[in-house]
């Protein structure tokens, strides 16, 4: 298959590199130094064992510069850049192109639907953790399941995407209840990502400190109230155990929002905690904790560069 990965950050490079073993992969990114490095040296992954593996069979293009029509496009840009990335790369789409979003947050599929038929859109989540070291190099401290599905009658399309990922040695599960999976990922991100961005700590720290874990529970319980108003129900103890398991698995790994704050780039708060706040307005569910976190993260972004 011809596969484009829009967003050559940590997770994009991880998926692009593995897929390049069996498929023709095109990495698309707006950062020229990253594109040039991948063009010259491919992608290098430092695995959990410490082994460094190079994947040279990867092509790379600046956003908007690739004119090859793809069989599959995987969207891995930050959710804040989804609209721009899709607008710039319309040449990648043909009538039969499948588009899969493995991004954080909620609502990315609605943006993709402006450019692709709804039945060709695949929604998913990934439990892999990766850190961008720059210039086509990433660290891969934790592996996990990739779960995919569709909000439409698209069993054939989901099976094609699942097959491509399985060929690349990913562990993949297809589900008929993708909305529960999206909500589950949101519960993780709205607690883990925001806490680690605020405190600048590894993911595992959140469950090691009672005050940190209390912070997480307040955000999670509030979000579950919104999920239930929307028709997706969670056992609260199971939800907490799910988040705790992610923290235990990731350990000393770092969240994407932590990395964004460290690099002083815009964080994905509006598509994560912000998505909870906006959904809550439809049902009249109060979300004081998540609302506060959205404001706090935006205040942090406003301070970028002030104290260098």
Minimal CA–CA distance to 100: which of 127, 78, 125? 125
Burial class of residue 282 in the structure, from the number of CB atoms within 10 Å of its CB (0-12 exposed, 13-18 middle, 19+ buried): exposed
- Which residues are CB-neighbours of 163 under 8 A, at least 6 positions away? none
Q: Express each pLDDT in 120-141 by its tens digit.
A: 999 999 989 898 999 999 999 8
Structural fold of domain 178-302: 1.10.1040
Burial class of residue 237 in the structure, from the number of CB atoms within 10 Å of its CB (0-12 exposed, 13-18 middle, 19+ buried): exposed
Question: What's the mean pLDDT in 54-79?
Answer: 95
* Maximum Cα interatomic distance, the chain, rounded to a whole number of Å: 53
Minimal CA–CA distance to 207: which of 199, 219, 215? 215
Residue 94: per-residue pLDDT: 93
Q: Express each pLDDT in 93-108 by its tens digit.
A: 999 999 999 988 777 8
Which tokens hold the place of 189?
A: 């991100």
What residues does each domain of the chain span? Answer: 2-174, 178-302
Report how far residue 76's alpha carbon sits from residue 84's, in angstroms, rounded to the nearest whole number.
13
Just give the CATH number of 2-174.
Answer: 3.40.50.720
């Amino acid at each position: 298959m011809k596969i484009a990965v829009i967003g050559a950050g940590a997770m994009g490079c991880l998926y692009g590199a593995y897929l390049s073993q069996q498929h023709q992969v095109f990495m698309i990114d707006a950062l020229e130094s990253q594109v040039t490095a991948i063009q010259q040296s491919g992608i290098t992954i430092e695995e959990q064992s410490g082994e460094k593996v190079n994947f040279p069979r990867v092509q790379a293009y600046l956003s908007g510069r690739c004119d090859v029509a793809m069989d599959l496009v995987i969207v891995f840009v930050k959710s804040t850049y989804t609209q721009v990335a899709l607008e710039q790369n319309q040449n990648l789409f043909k009538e039969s192109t499948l588009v899969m979003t493995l991004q954080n947050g909620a609502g990315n599929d609605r943006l993709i639907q402006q450019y692709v038929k709804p039945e060709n859109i695949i929604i998913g989540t990934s439990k892999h953790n990766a850190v961008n070291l720059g210039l086509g190099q990433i660290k891969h401290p934790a592996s996990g399941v990739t779960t995919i599905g569709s909000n439409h009658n698209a069993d054939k399309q989901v099976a094609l995407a699942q097959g491509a990922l399985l060929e690349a040695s990913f562990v993949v599960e297809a589900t008929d209840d993708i909305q529960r999976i999206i909500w589950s990922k949101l519960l993780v991100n709205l607690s883990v990502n925001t806490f680690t961005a605020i405190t600048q700590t590894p993911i595992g720290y959140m469950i090691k400190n009672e005050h940190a874990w209390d912070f997480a529970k307040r955000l999670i319980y509030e979000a579950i109230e919104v999920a239930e108003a929307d028709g997706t129900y969670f056992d609260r103890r199971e939800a907490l155990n799910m988040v705790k398991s992610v923290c235990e698995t990731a350990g000393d790994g770092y969240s994407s929002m932590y990395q964004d704050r460290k690099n002083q780039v815009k964080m994905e708060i509006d598509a994560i905690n912000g998505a909870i706040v906006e959904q809550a307005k439809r049902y009249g569910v109060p979300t004081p904790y998540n609302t506060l976190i959205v404001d706090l993260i935006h205040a942090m972004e406003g301070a970028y560069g002030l104290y260098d």
